[in-house]
Amino acid sequence: MVSREAVESRVVELVKPILDDLGLELYEISFHPAGNKSILRIFIDRPGGGITLAECAQVSRELSAVLDVEDPIPYSYTLEVSSPGATRRLKDERDFERSVGMFVLLELSRPVEGKRSFRGRLMAFEGGEVKIEVCRRSKKGGSLKRSEVRIPYEAISFARLEVREDDLLEGKR
C-alpha cells in the first residue's frame, strides 16, 4: 500500500502545472486510503478568491487524465475537486494575508484580553500579529463600540472565515 504522504506529495507535483496554467492555486490536498473506497480530495482557489464550478470541473478532467497516465495510486479511488468553501479554515500566514478585510472566527490557545475566542473583521496581519476589529458592548450603557484587538499569531489554535448576511447581499461570497 502506498503511503498517504507519498500520494499527496506526488499529486501536488502533478496538479501544480495544471493550476498554474489556469491561474489557480492549490489550497489543500488530502488522500484518504480505504482500499477501493479511497478518496483523493483537491481543494483549489483563485488568488483573491472566487473559484467556479466550471473551473473545478476543468481541473478535475485535466488532472484525471494526468493521474491515469502517471498512476500514483495503484488501486481505484474517487477524485474530488472543489473550492475550500466560504467558511474555509485559515491554515497559515498566507491565508491570513489574503483574508484581510473579511470576517473571521479565531480560537486561541491562551487568553488575550481575558478571552479565548474572537469574532470580527480581519484588519491586518503583520509582524507576527493578527489585528481584528471587534464589536463590544460597553459595561454601563450596553451600546456597541468597535475596537481593535491584537493577537499574536502563535496564540491562534484555529481560525476560519465567517460569512455574514451583509457579505451575501453585497455579493462578496
Q: Quick one: three-class SS letters along 131-155?
A: EEEEEEECCCCCCEEEEEEEEEHHH
Give the pLDDT of residue 166.
62
Phi, psi of 99 (to 5 degrees): -105, 10
Q: List the domains of the chain with CATH numbers.
A: 4-82 (3.30.300.70), 93-169 (2.30.30.180)
Give the pLDDT of residue 31.
93
Give the pLDDT of residue 170.
55
Q: Report how far apart, in Å, the C-alpha atoms of 48 and of each of 23, 33, 97, 99 are.
A: 11, 32, 10, 8
Cβ neighbours, 10 Å, residue 70: 12
Q: Quick one: three-class SS letters along 27-94?
A: EEEEEECECECEEEEEEEECCCCCCCHHHHHHHHHHHHHHHHHHCCCCCCEEEEEECCCCCCECCCHH
Cβ neighbours, 10 Å, residue 49: 16
Give the pLDDT of residue 65.
96
| Run of H or E residues at 15 | helix 4-22
Identify the three-state secondary structure at position 106: strand
pLDDT per residue, tens digit, the chain (173 aa), is 678 898 899 999 999 999 999 999 999 999 998 877 899 999 999 887 788 999 999 999 999 999 999 989 888 899 999 999 889 999 999 889 988 999 999 999 999 999 999 999 999 999 899 999 998 777 776 778 888 999 999 999 999 999 876 655 555 54
Q: Which amino acid belongs to residue 162?
A: E
Give the pLDDT of residue 34.
85
Strands 103-112 and 156-161, sheet pairing: antiparallel
Q: 111 CB contacts (<8 Å, ≥6 apart)?
A: none
Closest CA to 65 of 25, 29, 14, 28: 14
